[in-house]
């Protein structure tokens, strides 16, 4: 499966085009589609941070994915996430997408809105 080309911005205002701007040789992209999914992401963070420290070629990213209709209030959504994340490293690896979620899920063959994708 090929990760579809999508554009977003991390919480440090840097633009990304995925999958091209992923920095690791081995990348893990975690895609929370719903706000409550963040608890699942947070549960994995300690372990994934230890993997990043152990393996210099491994990077992971949190890619919250919202419907493109929410882009109009991006400043509030991203601002709220930014304010709730004091760690700059976490803000740098959090890339928010405002896209057609159904098309994105279809391209990735995601049948529901809970899935971790290994890339």
pLDDT of residue 118: 47
Four-residue CA torsion sign, 37, 49, 101, 84: positive
Note the pLDDT tens digit of each residue in 21-49: 999 999 999 999 887 777 788 888 899 99
Listing from the earlier edge strand, what are the strands of the sheet with 58-62?
58-62, 26-30, 116-118
Q: 46-78 b/e with 16+ CB inside 10 Å = b?
A: eebeeebeeeeeebbbbbbbbeeeeeeeeeebb
Angular region, 57: left φ>0, alpha ψ -120 to 50, beta rest = alpha
Hey, what domains does the chain have and what are their CATH numbers? 6-118 (3.40.30)
- Distance from the first to the final alpha carbon of the chain: 9
Query: Which residues of the chain fall short of a pLDDT of 50?
Result: 118-119
pLDDT of residue 38: 79
């Amino acid at each position: 499966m090929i990760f579809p080309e999508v554009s977003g911005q991390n919480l440090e205002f840097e633009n990304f085009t995925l999958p091209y701007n992923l920095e690791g040789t081995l990348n893990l992209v975690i895609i929370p589609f719903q706000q409550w999914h963040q608890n699942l992401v947070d549960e994995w963070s300690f372990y994934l941070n230890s993997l990043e420290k152990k393996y210099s070629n491994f990077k992971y990213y949190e890619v919250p994915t919202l419907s493109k209709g929410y882009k109009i209030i991006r400043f509030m959504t991203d601002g709220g996430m930014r304010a709730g994340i004091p760690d700059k490293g976490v803000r740098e690896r959090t890339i928010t997408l405002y896209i057609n979620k159904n098309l994105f899920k279809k391209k990735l063959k995601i049948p529901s809105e809970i899935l971790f994708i290994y890339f």
